[in-house]
Structure 1
Amino acid sequence: MKYYLWLFYMVMSCSILAQNTKAKADNFYSNGKFSKAIETYKSLEDLDNVYDDIAKAYIAIGNYEKALDFYQKAVEANKENLLIQYEYAKLLVRSKKYAEANELFSSLIKMDSVNPNYYYELGLVLEKQRDTLAIEQFNKTFNLDDTHQKAIFKIAKQHLIKRNFKEAHGFIDKGLENYENNVELISLKAQTYYHQEFYTHAVVWFNKLLDLGEKSEFIHEKLSLSYAQNSDYQDAIYHRKQALKYNPYDANAMYIIGNYYEKIKDYEQAENYIKQALFIKDQSLTEEYQTLGTILNRQKKYAEAIKAFKKSLKEDPSNMMSEFFLLRTKDEYYGDLDSKIALYEQFIEKHKKSYFKAFAEKRLKELKDEKFLEKK
């Protein structure tokens, strides 16, 4: 009898100790001491019930690989726990493991076919996979929960893209019935009116975004264009200037403001803004793009460097240095010897008097020698 009492007390003591350790780890987690929480969770003898806690702590410190490992263990240890599988699937998406996430969300749907969020999350995965069936999942979400704001936004946006304006308004209005200050839906409402060319209505809805504290270059730009369509040039100028604050060297915006000033016969301001626009457009960015290309080359980001040098040449086609740098970058990036040889031959033929011709001829000889040795 004494033995059984002793055994009972031992079991109870271990259980209490485990509970205390778990509570201590939870406290560390709650107070943002995530590494301490991980260490404490791992000190428990039975980790089956804390694998997901460890995974969440790893997410908190940005170690997604470790988090994935522990979520996988949590799923294996708690096969009936759909919440853990759901969190694991979302982390797979976050980690861009879309095929695995797709499989897991599809499995969750089979186990619980009336959970709207499973369909919504699967829709997001299909979007990432560029699968046109994503919209079907958002529609299924809406059919299960017609107040699902995120699904409503996705469906309404798709209708807007397809220029199904009536349907877009229908879904937007349905969403706003339940959440009248949903800025995403309000923005979509404004854009729908804008694309319908109902500019007076568009102005009302874009201004609602401003009233809700939403400010952006896009909102002010669209407001400006909408006011201008209604010949409200003072308001159009104001909002275009607000948009210009986000991109002070936007020559196109300055030119448009100049045109608006011309409409209200303020020719002095019109001249000022159009001159600024012309001045900015006249500035070449060839050196800036050349410098960017050089920096990218030093990081061996050859594909991006090639794009930068091409932009440099577009700004100034006579920039010989950028053209030579482009040639050398292609030399580093391309693997085919014949392609490289052809590039150098074309450069030498085109620039017979160039300072860089001697460098090009030397490199061409090296490539031809390399090709000869390769054949042998």
Structure 2
Amino acid sequence: MKTKINRVISKLLVLLVFIQFNAEAQSSALLVADSLYAHGNYTKAITAYKTYNNKKEVYHKIAKAYIAIGNYDAALEHYKLSVETNPNDALLKFDYAKLLSRAKKYEDASKIFNELILKDDTNPNYHYEAGIILEKQRDTLALQRYLTAYELDNSHQKAIFKIAKHHLQKRNFETSHSYIDTGLKTYANNLELISLKAQNYYHQEYYTIAIPWFQKLLDLGENSEFIHEKLSLCYSQNSDYVPAIKHRKLALAFNPTDSIAMYVIGKYYEILNDFENAEKFISAALELMDAPLNVEYRTLGVVLNRLEKREEAIKAFKKALKEDPSDLFAEFFIIRTKDEYYADKLAVIKLYEDFVDKHEKNPFKPFAEGRIKELKEEEFLKKD
């Protein structure tokens, strides 16, 4: 009898040792998997997690690892398993719903967020994320969700941005400013709110005030075509063309084939009487443009005239007239340039006379008739 009891005890001890060993092995496997995940070895971490016996504890960890390597279908599958085995874990549901939203499964995500809100309607993030889904579905109730999130937490930066952006789009500038200012009180370097602040002032045509806000974005490391373009426009509105050119060139660096930017830079140089650079940028712009370009060619002609490149100016004006045969300005500028360029003044007189006969009513007629008279008097004096 005693021997039998000893055998039972021995088996129990072996079983306990095995259980203990297995528990320690499982614990060790979990530690290894967690370490692999922490060090960015996500695929190996997934393999390690899957060797863990109690899958209920690691489904969400596997899901996060799949998110890290961009496999959202597998991540959703494991989040679903995790929620099903942990139905009272609100954090799991929250993460699962966010991933559903990210995967554009809006109906499923919305259902979970609504369940979470029913259980705890004081959590601002539930309302905010529900608002994101409604916004993606183009549902105007999204704004109310953002407002609720803000009411529950008036330092909620993301909700503030959404509300302020809405009012900017509706041109409710002062309301937008109010929300932005509230947000900046708790996070002064919020790039999204600073950008909205700059855009608010820009659309209000407060260009001088907008400039330091756009500049602040650059100071904080933001660097984009949009920022430089808006800074250039602000400076040009203040007739400050040197920095306007500087920032338009920086914008052009993001899109080197932007013919409009090239043309604008050329116009700024023309205003500054830097006709060589004006010609350079306007010519480059015209090479890229494929729309009717009579105004642009006419502008180039004026610039070339200022550089005393008369023959090239005439070619530019002729191109303008070819783009738009009704361009009276281009037609007259050809004659005016030939007046400066041709030695044969009798031929110039004939050009003016034909122009007057062809266009009985035109803004250049008084000048043309006056010039005809002057040239005829000069020719008469030469005969004497």
Would the TM-score normalized by the shorter structure come out above 0.5? yes
Aligned to 1:122: 130
Aligned to 2:316: none
2:48 partner letter: T
Match of 1:143 among 134, 141, 151: 151
Alignment of 1:236 with 2:240, yes or no, is no
Higher deviation after alignment, 193-202 or 48-57:
48-57
Aligned to 1:332: none
Match of 2:228 among 220, 225, 242: 220
Alignment of 1:44 with 2:52, yes or no, is yes
Describe the superposition over 1:87-135 as per-residue Cα deviations: whole angstroms up to 9, x where unpaired.
Answer: 1111111211111111111111112211111111111111111111111
SS in 2 for 1:215: coil
Identity of aligned residues (%): 54
Alignment of 1:85 with 2:85, yes or no, is no
Q: Distance in 2 between matches of 1:32 and 1:224?
A: 43
Aligned to 2:258: 250
Match of 1:18 among 11, 17, 26: 26
Select the structure of larger CA radius of gyration.
2
Match of 1:60 among 60, 63, 68: 68
By how many angstroms is 1:34 displaced? Answer: 2.0
Alignment of 1:1-376 (within 5 A): 2=9, 9-282=17-290
SS in 2 for 1:49: helix
2:116 partner letter: L
SS in 2 for 1:245: helix
Q: Distance in 2 between matches of 1:35 and 1:251?
A: 47
Aligned to 2:371: none
Q: Distance in 2 between matches of 1:194 and 1:35?
A: 48
SS in 2 for 1:238: helix
Describe the superposition over 1:165-200 as per-residue Cα deviations: whole angstroms up to 9, x where unpaired.
Answer: 111100111111111111111111000000000000
2:25 partner letter: L
Q: Distance in 2 between matches of 1:40 and 1:282?
A: 60
By how many angstroms is 1:282 displaced? Answer: 4.4
Describe the superposition over 1:135-163 as per-residue Cα deviations: whole angstroms up to 9, x where unpaired.
Answer: 11111111111111111111100010000
Describe the superposition over 1:295-349 as per-residue Cα deviations: whole angstroms up to 9, x where unpaired.
Answer: xxxxxxxxxxxxxxxxxxxxxxxxxxxxxxxxxxxxxxxxxxxxxxxxxxxxxxx
Higher deviation after alignment, 118-127 or 256-265:
256-265
Residue-pair matches, total = 284
By how many angstroms is 1:86 displaced? Answer: 1.0
Structure 1 gaps, min length 5 = 285-376
Structure 2 gaps, min length 5 = 293-384
By how many angstroms is 1:35 displaced? Answer: 2.3
1:73 partner letter: L
The change in CA–CA distance for 1:144 and 1:24 in structure 2 (over 3 A counts) is same
1:189 partner letter: K
By how many angstroms is 1:8 displaced? Answer: 5.0
Aligned to 1:313: none
1:208 partner letter: K
By how many angstroms is 1:210 displaced? Answer: 1.2
Higher deviation after alignment, 238-247 or 29-38:
29-38
1:175 partner letter: G
2:103 partner letter: S
Aligned to 1:374: none
The change in CA–CA distance for 1:88 and 1:268 in structure 2 (over 3 A counts) is same
1:126 partner letter: L
Q: Distance in 2 between matches of 1:137 and 1:74?
A: 27
Describe the superposition over 1:259-294 as per-residue Cα deviations: whole angstroms up to 9, x where unpaired.
Answer: 11222222232222222211211499xxxxxxxxxx
Q: Distance in 1 between matches of 2:116 and 2:290?
A: 58
1:93 partner letter: S
The change in CA–CA distance for 1:245 and 1:18 in structure 2 (over 3 A counts) is same
The change in CA–CA distance for 1:131 and 1:231 in structure 2 (over 3 A counts) is same
By how many angstroms is 1:257 displaced? Answer: 1.2
Q: Distance in 2 between matches of 1:228 and 1:188?
A: 21
SS in 2 for 1:173: helix
Q: Distance in 2 between matches of 1:63 and 1:270?
A: 53
